[in-house]
A and B are shown apart, each in its own frame.
Chain A
C-alpha cells in the first residue's frame, strides 16, 4: 500500500552540526507535506510545511526540501542544539484530491539525538 516512511530510524549529531532527516513518500497525488517534532511525553509539534508546487521552504534554522521526481522529502536543521533532540515525523496530507479529507499520513519517525 502507499505510505510515508523514513529512511533512518535514528540519527546522532554533535551540537552545532547540521542535521538532515529524510523521508520517502509514494503517493504522487499528495499535495502537502509537514514535518512534526515530538518530544518525549508530548504531542507532535508543527515545525514546517511545504506545498507540492514548491521545492524548498525555509524557516528559522530549518529548511524543507521536496524532490517530487524521486518522491523524497528532507528536513535540514542548522546548528543543531540539545533542545532539538526529539523524534521527527514527516506527514503527508493528501487533501481532497486524494480523498483523505485532510487527515495526515505519518511516517514512522526518526529519533534525533544531539551530543553536547
Chain B
C-alpha cells in the first residue's frame, strides 16, 4: 500500500458527461501528480500541483482541469467526455516540489470507461 488513495475505483459514464476523480496524497506529501494510462499511449503525465498551486503541465487537454485543496487532496475534472478518454487515471505524490531525485508514490488508479 503506497499510502495514496484514489476514488472512485471504477467509473462508467457516457460521452459528453463530466466526472471528477479524487486523490489523497500520502501523509506529509505536498505534491500531487496526475497521469493517464491508456493502451496506445502508455503512462502520460497530465499535471502537477504543489501545496495548492499548479507547478507543471503535461499533455493535459483543455477539457480537463485539476486543483489541489488546502487539505492537499486533489481533484481531476474531466468534461465533455469522449470515447478516447477511457483510460486508467493515476495520481502520485511526493514530499517536495519534484524536479530531481524523489520517488513518486502512485495510487491504485481510477478506471474510467466512457460509453
Contacts and interface: CB of A to CB of B under 8 A. Distances in A.
B100 A102 contact: yes
A102 B98 contact: yes
Contacts of B101: 32, 49, 51, 93, 95
B106 A103 contact: no
A108 B42 contact: yes
Interface residues of B, number: 29
B48 A101 contact: yes
Contact of A101 (B92, B98, B103): B98
Given A31-B100, A41-B108, A107-B42, 15 more contacts: A32-B101, A34-B103, A43-B106, A43-B108, A44-B106, A46-B103, A89-B43, A93-B101, A102-B31, A102-B55, A102-B56, A102-B102, A103-B33, A103-B58, A109-B42
21 contacts: A31-B100, A42-B109, A43-B92, A43-B106, A43-B107, A44-B90, A44-B92, A45-B2, A46-B103, A49-B101, A51-B101, A93-B98, A93-B101, A93-B102, A95-B99, A95-B101, A100-B56, A101-B48, A101-B99, A102-B98, A104-B45
